[in-house]
Amino acid sequence: MRMNMVSGYRALGLLVVLLLTHAGLAQTVGGMKRGTSLIPDYPISDHMVADFDGDGRDELVVFAKDGRVLSYHGTSGASLDPAPRGKLQLADPERSLIATGSFFEGAKKQLLVLSPGGLRVFRPDDRGDFSGKGHLLTSRARFNLRVGGPIRSNIVQDVNEDGRPDIVVPTPGFCELWLNQGPDESEEKDGLGLPRFRRVAKAAVRLNSQSSRGMSSLNKSLRSDFSIPNLTTKDVNGDGRLDLQIRQDDIRSWHLQREDGSIPGKPDVSLDLSIFRDTTPKSAIAPGQIASMGDRRSFESRDLDDDGILDYVIAHRRKIWIFHGTKAGPQFTKPSFILRSVEDVTALTLLHLDKDTRPDLLLIKVEVPSVTTFVLGFVSSWDLSFSAAGYRNTNGREFDKAPTWKKETALRFPPILSILKDPQALVQRIEYMGKKFRKQLGGDFDGDGKEDLALLSEDADRIDVFRSTGSADESDGDGDESLREILFEDKRSTWELEDVLLWMGGLAERRVAALTRGRNPDGSVALSDREKMEFTGFETGDFDGDGSAEIVLSYRPEGAVRVTLFDVMGVDPSQK
Amino acid sequence: MNRLSILIFLFLLTSASETGRAQSRLGRVTRIQLSPDVEVAEAVLRDVSGDGNVDLVISALDLKTNGRSLRIHHRLQGSKSVRECFRQAPDHTLSLTPDVVAFSIADVHEDAGREVVLFSPRGVFVWRPKGSEKERFKKLFSAELLWQVPDVDEVFFWDAARDVNGDGLDDLMLPETGGYRIAVQGRSAEAGAFFQAVSTIQIPEDRRAGFRAGGKGPVQTGGGQGRFELMLGLPGRQDEATRNLVRIEDVVPAPFFLDWDADGDLDLLAQTTTRLHVWPLSQEGQYNELPGESLLSPVPLNQERTLDISYSSHAVDFNQDGRADCVIFAGDKSKKNLRTQVLIFRNSPEKGLFGEKGRPDQLLVLTGIVAPPSFPDVDGDGAKDLLIVTLRTDLIEQLRNSSSDSVSGEISVYLNQGKRGEKSKRGEVFSRRPDFIHSIQMSPEGDTKTTHFLGDVTGDGVAELLLRTSKDHLSVFMIRQRKGELSLVDRPLWELNIDEEANVELPDVEVSKNREFLVLEDHQVLHVRFR
């Protein structure tokens, strides 16, 4: 009896220790506390977090709308010195793109500015601050569009993966690729070998543009809204080097990277999709008929035969051509296979429908509702019917001639009048489901060398922290699996709109479970209650150089475009 | 057949012929055909030559060369008596450089007539077709046009010309980031035409309308007035930062020029999410950068209102007192049936526009959803009446048991009550009940936008009604006024078959005294003119 009591006490003691230890652990990670709140008194255009002076401590660099570049430095923990430093004044802030890169061998990161004056690099001083005029790398690479204030852009990319950062210059209608040729030793400035840049390609790009010019009423607005797409690079010939893919309307072209890292100015392969023509008469989009592609050509690429080389599927009306790529690059003279659909096709894609590694072919046919359906849809539920047909990739060279997977599905919408009467209810429901895709941030918050995870709550009022979850790469996730599930595996043949939203919600929850390994958070911290402020994002930075990351949260006033406020939080230093 | 029968037959035959000729005399159609390689982007009617007759200006795209051009067709002299109003071949053609974003027609040079004004992202230029080669192009002034990037497929018409200070000279207005630029023209014998008085207008910040672009994951939302966008993606997609290098969005409210304070010049009005801003023109002919007045809107554009497809607001001088009035259309979902409220505000020195409490001077309630209204003068008294096209959602319920392929709509006209209404007990601006109602069957293929009072074609003082009764058919109906009541004569006065995909461009009343409009097809422009 006595021994049992001792054992019991020991057990209890051990339990208490364990509990206290666990609480301590939770305190260490979940012991995030708010540090500095920065409310700059000048309009902000953009910001970034980076270690420019190589001292192992990140700085928060803020780009003011008027062109000033100001750095905020950490003091300890999650505290930043509220007095900004730096005297850099950009010459043309309204037309400046900002990026970072390491342009000098052995040097730290620098700030790159692309503007109408050219490409200029700025090195921080020994304190990590920016000033002066920097160094002009080339005056021929210019950016002339008005962006309203200096903004970050992904213009620095190592396109040919030679370890030297290259520059992609966006212009209306084109993206220019400027390859970094390395420093010219004979032309050192300030003891630096400035890198030389050579424009190797000018790729035509199609702007994504939405503009409005309506003046019919006071509530209308005049709008200019466009984006310039990035260059697309991919290894198309299996040599391990990224190649340049360019798309303009029906023209596709490829510039293959050479062994020495150079990329030719003229394309190695060029294709005009309009040469692919199915003689089946063109169908108009008519009520009660399949919504066809019309005269559009569809172009998809994927490695169909697992040889590490991209292959291509081209469709026009009901005819589909398969071309296999070669080590010399894409070829479109000899199709491996031709498939013909008995009906018009609305959309086509390649994805994994079975368990092997070769992608299969999916055809989607959407039926345009009849006029009667549409009219009755004002007062009754109405269906948008579509069918999905999956063709198995048999041997990497061909697809089955008949579909292995086939399903007819209808998407059921509520009466149009009910939506018009209260559209807000539907929108709120959609937004509610959207919030389930919680924003995530990875970082080593407790300095133990392992990646942790911070998840924003659905209501954006707190951050949940999960310890040692591993990499939270946002690109993880299998779109093929999701599409297969919804098109063929789910037993339902009619999906109400609510079913779709619930499915999306389920997808979101599974994603969170995968990220967190199904665990409860190790700790949570409430965000500052910022009245009339919107949370816009968060990122990590190690401001005190202790190996554990702090989190910078940014806010903007409701309805404003730019961020104006920062909160910094981190693990309490006494807890580390 | 006896003699009487023959006479009746001949009479009927003659009447039919007369009617046919009357129809063709009533509306003259001139077809300007472009080659199959050239596509029509836009077309406008403006008096370019300065002879008092409107000319035709076509913005076109050469499909082979991707070249954009402007083609000017002068009105044929004596065209009142000839069948066609324009020659097939243009009188002037201007090939446009890639940087041209938009064009306008304005008198900005001492040359006779008007010139073509060209807008590029950085400046405003004039093209003088009659000028020597050296002097054909001239820069008027620098500007930062809102639309930075030209559309490769078209150069659009921007109606920039306004005589803001009433001196008979065309001034130019263009939108920029965050506001507008208004250049007031001056002229002198020595300097010719010049633009030195340039006002830069700044729109005050206000809450953003529409939806914040939400989400970083597969569910993303966005949208604006009357539009909600939902993008559903799948895991594994590229995010915005890697997909696009730059995204640029510039938005300013649509500007309106009306006399606000009855001083005879044009003041500037613009509406943001919560306010109506007014920039009065000073005696020196300039606008201040910031508004002189900012009135709290009684129906602000919150998120709920951006989804309201009936919502619109308009500034119009209804009682012709030189003070801009306002009418707001807003959906009312408080009742079982969908309704739309029409809130009419009269601008007066005593109470201002919205008054202290934002209570309208007149309230109309309509059943159903309303298409954007217009304000034609239907009864010829010079005052703007109210034209509304409504989708009768209460009648749609009857469709449950029918297999109809169309829904019931209604065209309603509320006549302006003028001074009589102002002095009445209720101080009405418009009739309390519609003075004209016409039921229409609206199919998804119909076009409610082409519901337009064309003006008086028959000479009885009352405007006629132009309707696009189906995708490929236009009709003009006579509106008759008897004992104060308006009615539609069922048989169309005039009809025209058009291409299903054609756009009908309706004119500004001020542009032409004639009743004319344009039908734009892919490779053809139809000009229709009534007496």
Rounded to an integer, what is the distance from CA A379 to the centroid of its chain? Answer: 40
Both tokens of B29, joined, read 């159609």
Question: Does B236 contact A479 at a Cβ distance shorter than 8 Å?
Answer: yes
- Terminal Cα distance for chain A, rounded: 43
Q: Do A219 and B215 touch (CB under 8 A)?
A: no
Query: Which of B218, B228, B372 minimises the CB distance to A217?
Result: B372
Residue B410 CA to residue B282 CA, distance in Å, equals 44
| Interface contact flag, A230 B243, Cβ < 8 Å | yes
Q: Which two tokens stand for residue B363?
A: 């309230």
Answer yes or no: do B403 and A372 touch at CB < 8 A.
yes
A-contacting residues in B 29-68 (Cβ below 8 Å): none
B508 interfaces chain A, CB cutoff of 8 Å: no
Residue A502 is classified by DSSP as H
- The per-residue pLDDT for B388 is 95
The answer to whether B143 faces chain A, any CB pair under 8 Å, is no
CA atoms of A380 and A415, how far apart (whole Å): 5
Asked if A154's CB is within 8 angstroms of B242's CB, the reply is yes
**pLDDT score of A208:** 79
Say whether residue A504 is in contact with chain B using an 8 A CB cutoff: yes
Q: Which residues of B touch A43 (CB under 8 A)?
A: none
- Asked if B246 and A208 come within 8 Å (Cβ–Cβ), the reply is no
pLDDT digits (tens, 9 = 90+) for A73-122: 999 888 999 999 999 999 999 999 999 999 886 668 899 999 999 999 99
Q: In chain B, what residues touch A213 (CB-CB under 8 Å)?
A: 156, 158
Count the neighbouring beta carbons within 10 Å of the beta carbon of residue A428. 12
Q: What is the rounded CA–CA span in Å between residue A71 and residue A153?
A: 19
- Segments of chain B scoring below 50 in pLDDT: 1-22, 212-216, 237
The DSSP bridge pattern shows strands B503-505 and B515-520 to be antiparallel
Q: Check CB contact under 8 Å for B244 and A208.
A: yes
Tell me the sheet residues that pair with A525: A463
Mapped onto helix, strand or coil, the DSSP state of residue B501 is coil
Q: For residues B117 and B123, what is the distance between their CA atoms, to the nearest angstrom? A: 11
d(CA A419, CA A146): 39
Strand A494-496 versus strand A405-413 pairing type: parallel
Residues of A in contact with B256 (CB under 8 A): 215, 218
CB contact under 8 A, A224 and B249: yes
Whether B248 sits inside 8 A of A224 (CB atoms) is: yes
Query: Tokens 């009906």 belong to which residue?
Result: A343
Task: Identify whether the C-beta of residue A570 lies closer than 8 Å to the C-beta of residue A445.
Answer: yes
Does A9 lie at the interface with B, CB-CB under 8 angstroms? no
Across-strand partners of B197? B184
Beta strand extents in A173-318 (DSSP E only): 174-189, 192-204, 208-212, 221-229, 232-234, 243-248, 251-255, 269-272, 297-302, 311-316
What pLDDT sits at residue B400?
A: 55
Q: Do A206 and A227 form a contact (C-beta atoms < 8 A)? A: no
What pLDDT sits at residue A64? 96
Cα separation of B175 and B195, whole Å? 17
**Pick from B232, B270, B369: which is nearest to A420 by CB?**
B369
Euclidean distance between CA atoms A246 and A265, whole angstroms: 12
Which chain A positions have a beta carbon within 8 Å of B228's beta carbon? 423, 427
* B148 near A CB under 8 A: yes
A225 touches chain B (CB under 8 A): yes
How far apart (Å, rounded) are the C-alpha atoms in residues B287 and A448?
A: 63
> Are the beta carbons of B147 and A224 separated by less than 8 Å?
yes
- Residue B364 Cα, gap to closest chain A Cα (Å): 19
Separation of alpha carbons B309 and B289, rounded Å: 33
Query: Of all residues in chain A, what percent carry a pLDDT higher than 70?
Result: 90
Rounded CA separation B279/B265 (Å): 12
Q: Judge contact between A469 and A516, C-beta under 8 A.
A: yes
Which 424-443 residues of chain B touch chain A by CB within 8 A? 443
pLDDT at site A100: 95
The interface predicted TM-score (ipTM) is 0.90
User: Quick one: which of B61, B161, B125 has its CA closest to B508?
Assistant: B161
pLDDT < 50 positions in chain A:
1-29, 474-476
Given this model, what pLDDT does residue A12 score? 33
Angle formed by the axes of helices A497-516 and A423-435, to 10°? 20
Q: What is the pLDDT of residue A107?
A: 65
Q: CB-based contact (8 Å) between A498 and chain B? A: no
Q: Is B400 left (phi over 0), alpha (psi -120 to 50) or beta?
A: alpha
Q: Contacts of residue A153 in chain B, CB cutoff 8 Å?
A: 245-246
Beta bridge partners of A101: A110
CB contact under 8 A, A376 and B399: yes
Inter-chain touch A507–B230, beta carbons under 8 Å: no
